A and B are shown apart, each in its own frame.
Chain A
Amino acid sequence: MSPLPPTADSQPTGGRQRSAKVFWSQFVYIATGNPVTLIAFSLFLLIVTVAIFGPSLAPFDPLASDAANALQPPSWKHWFGTDNVGRDVFSRVLVATRLDLLISITAVAISFVVGGFLGMLAGYYGGWWDRLVGRMVDTIMAFPLFVLAMGIVAAAGNTVENIVYATAIINVPFYARVARAEVNVRRNAGYVLAAKLAGNSDIRVMALHVFPNALPPMMVQVSLNMGWAILNAAGLSFIGLGVQPPTAEWGIMVAEGANYIVSGEWWMAIFPGAALMLAVFTFNLMGDGLRDLVDPQRRT
């Protein structure tokens, strides 16, 4: 699990293992070595582009209903057809990309930061910090994840913020555990002791020297969690605890469209479902690629 040996800049700024150049060549090597990873990264780029430019690319207003043209199958005018109040499905799918990406990135970012911070405290100081964080993490992990998310959103009310918070909370344990383990292993390493002796405060040592080493394994988790966060939001929508109408979000579009499959209007559910699957698929595959990138010894 150790990174590449340090290059020329192994100064007391410590922790920086490779220069950007090395990182980039490593990246290219990984990406081209495994075709699946390359596809994953390209798709990710596509998704991010759509998320950024989505609303301007959409041919119709995703919220504009057109009752006379409800439930139209895909055509040249409406590539993905229209839904039960006449809204253009293609525009909604495009615009939803931004929301879903935002939900997953925000949720994962929060749990990454909070989990990482708590884990770091637990791993570095040990003692009752460790016990406190450990108990908290155990309690969260004691619930089947979706059940806890359901409970939190039901109790707090189904707004986008609460969905993000609920997803963030249930993901904290992963990051906390990893951060704790990594920090724990390294806290007595030579360079850390040296930094402390040099007069750096605990916080500085943790943030600049120890934590960056803990980053790599956590990064891998990030990608997987992002896919899971989107699926979580979709599941909540299906049982009625998701975003409110008329917001365009993949999960709720699939949930609502599901009712129309039996009556033959398949496009309402299939297209957002495909978009959802593509995004989650990309994140999952990217997770593999990130793992390979970050740790050559653990390539699968």
Chain B
Amino acid sequence: MSGSRLAIVGHRLLQAVPSVIGIIVVTFLLTRALPGDPAAYFAGPAANEESIAQIRAQLGLDKTLPEQFWVYVVDLLAGDLGTSLTTGQEVTDDILRRLPASLELTLAALIFSIGVALPLGIMAALRENSWIDHLCRVVVTAGVSLPTFFTGLFLLYIFYYLLGLAPAPLGRLNILYLSPEPVTGLYTIDSLIAGDFDTFWASFTQLVLPAVTLGLFSLAPIARMTRAAMLQVLGGEFVRTARAAGLSRRTVVITYALRNAILPVITTLGMVFSFMLGANVLVEKVFAWPGIGSYAIEALIASDYAAVQGFVLTMAILFVILNLFIDIIYTLVDPRVGIDA
């Protein structure tokens, strides 16, 4: 059994390779199409045509497109993503430094999302077509109807500016605190590992508003899928049998129904991640969160081609990995499911 599972997983990994190749090509084309001339930017404010041409040769931008692509791929394999114009650092360093911030935000948003949407979906399924069901549907749809940055600013205005409940949106940690010894790069986890509850609380409170903003949008797909899946499962034979056998409501719902309904919910996670990785950009700008998203905005506006390249590549590859992960979990959890959809 495990042998074939391994084969399935291996097969899945192989299937991801063409995607990665496609991503690399598309990213290259996109960044080369960006407006603006990085050579002129690098050459500085007082440059003339000559020095710009010099810099262009230095950066390798005077070669033909296929040549540039080859250089790009070779550099990529060596882990070199170029140097960012806006930060002056190596793009790889920039991204590695900022990725944990985005990951922490996304994870927190996911936990919030699942924590709220799952019970909502179950409740709606149990009381199908009641006013609770309709209310859930309205609330959840409302969450998905507002632009993320709008919700973020609104929450910021209410909870920080007016009520003073949320801490100042200065990023991941109040300036009074120094970041904990990095183990995972996630401040909340690292400070717990270090036993430092003050820093944990500080980093946690900074995380609340941005995570809620990001998570609000994914409430809808998760809640809906949970509801639909639960409804389907609850109408099934084995649930009726369980009920007839006199098992408690709780056992029926959670142990039997939910366990089976969870599978389709896992598939929606793929779409949820896709949204989150994209919306990261907007939330990070509002809350001055030093993640990859805010890095990308600066880079895009400045036509910082190396940074944009690095960002798009990272996000795409992250996404492919996440999807792979979901697929693998899915197959591991449910052996009935074949690979070919």
Chains A, B in direct contact (C-beta < 8 Å): yes
B33 closest partner in A (C-beta): A155
Residue of B nearest to A150 (CB): B300
Q: Within the assembled complex, what's the spacing in Å between the Cα atoms of A151 and B296? A: 10
**Chain A CB within 10 Å — which of B26, B275, B278, B311 has the most?**
B278
Contact A147:B19 (CB < 8 A) given known A142-B319, A254-B150: no
Chain A residue, CB-CB nearest to B278: A146
Give the chain A neighbours of B145 by CB distance below 8 A.
227, 231, 276-278, 280-281, 284
**Interface hit among A75-83, A210-218, A233-241:** A233-241
Q: A146-B278, A262-B157 are in contact. Are A300 and B228 (CB under 8 A)?
A: yes
Per a CB cutoff under 8 Å, which of A139, A154, A258, A269 touches B26? A139
Question: Are the CB atoms of A258 and B23 closer together than 8 Å?
Answer: no
Q: Is A151 a contact partner of B312 (Cβ separation < 8 A)?
A: yes
CB-CB under 8 A for A143 and B141, given A239-B282, A261-B153: no
* Known contacts A135-B22, A300-B231; A145/B278 CB under 8 A: yes
B275 near A144 with CB under 8 A, answer: yes
Q: Least Cβ distance of A156 to chain B in Å?
A: 7
The answer to whether B31 and A155 have CB atoms under 8 Å apart is yes
Q: Are B278 and A147 within 8 A (Cβ)?
A: yes
Report Cα–Cα, A146/B271, bound state, in Å: 12
Residue in A closest to B134 when the chains form the complex, CB atoms? A36
Q: Does B146 contact A (CB under 8 A)?
A: yes
Best-surrounded residue of A146, A231, A261 (most CB of chain B within 10 A): A146
Residues of chain A with a CB closer than 8 A to B107's CB: none
Of residues 249 through 272 on chain A, the ones whose CB sits less than 8 Å from some CB of chain B are 251, 254-255, 258, 261-262, 269
CA distance A254 to B146 in the complex (A): 11
- In Å, the complex CA distance between A261 and B141 comes to 25
Which residues in B have their C-beta under 8 angstroms from that of A146? 275, 278-279, 281
Let me know if B172 is at the binding interface, CB within 8 A: no
Measured CA separation A262–B158 after assembly (Å): 10
Task: Given A138-B19, A269-B153, check contact A262 B161 (CB 8 Å).
Answer: yes
Please measure, in the bound complex, the distance between the C-alpha atom of A149 and the C-alpha atom of B153, giving whole angstroms: 22
B221 CB, min distance to chain A CBs, angstroms: 10
Bound-complex Cα distance A164 to B220 (A): 25
Size bracket of the B interface: 35 or more
Q: Per a CB cutoff under 8 Å, which of A147, A157, A238 touches B149? A: A238
Cβ contacts under 8 Å, B23 to chain A: 139, 142-143
With a cutoff of 8 Å between Cβ atoms, the chain B residues found around residue A251 in the complex are 147
Q: Restricting to A182-205, which residues have a CB under 8 Å from any CB of B? A: none
Roughly how many angstroms separate A227 CA and B148 CA in the complex, as a whole number? 14
Contacting residues of chain A (52-78) with chain B, CB-CB under 8 angstroms: none
Asked if residues B277 and A147 are in contact (CB atoms below 8 Å), the reply is yes
Contacts of B56 in A (CB 8 A): none
- Taking a contact as CB atoms under 8 Å apart, the answer to whether B300 and A241 are in contact is yes
- Give min CB distance, B113 to chain A, whole Å: 16
CA distance A281 to B30 in the complex (A): 33
| Bound: A143/B22 CA distance, A | 10
Q: Is B22 in contact with A138, judged by CB distance below 8 angstroms?
A: yes
Write the chain B residue with the least CB distance to A156.
B33
* Given contacts A36-B137, A150-B296, A273 and B146 within 8 Å (CB-CB): yes
CB-defined A-B contacts under 8 Å, sample of 21? A139-B22, A142-B319, A143-B26, A143-B316, A145-B274, A146-B278, A146-B281, A147-B296, A147-B312, A148-B312, A150-B278, A150-B300, A155-B34, A239-B282, A239-B300, A240-B301, A254-B149, A258-B150, A261-B153, A280-B144, A280-B145
Residues of B within 8 A of A (CB): 18-20, 22-23, 26-27, 30-31, 33-35, 134, 137-138, 141-142, 144-150, 153-154, 157, 161, 220, 224, 227-228, 231, 273-279, 281-282, 285, 296-297, 300-301, 303, 308, 311-312, 315-316, 319-320
Q: Beyond A138-B18, A240-B297: 17 further Cβ-contacts under 8 Å?
A: A36-B134, A142-B23, A144-B319, A145-B274, A147-B278, A151-B30, A154-B300, A155-B34, A155-B35, A156-B33, A157-B35, A235-B281, A238-B285, A239-B300, A241-B300, A285-B141, A300-B224
By Cβ-Cβ distance, the 8 closest A-B pairs, closest first, are A146-B278, A139-B22, A155-B33, A144-B277, A280-B145, A281-B145, A144-B278, A234-B147
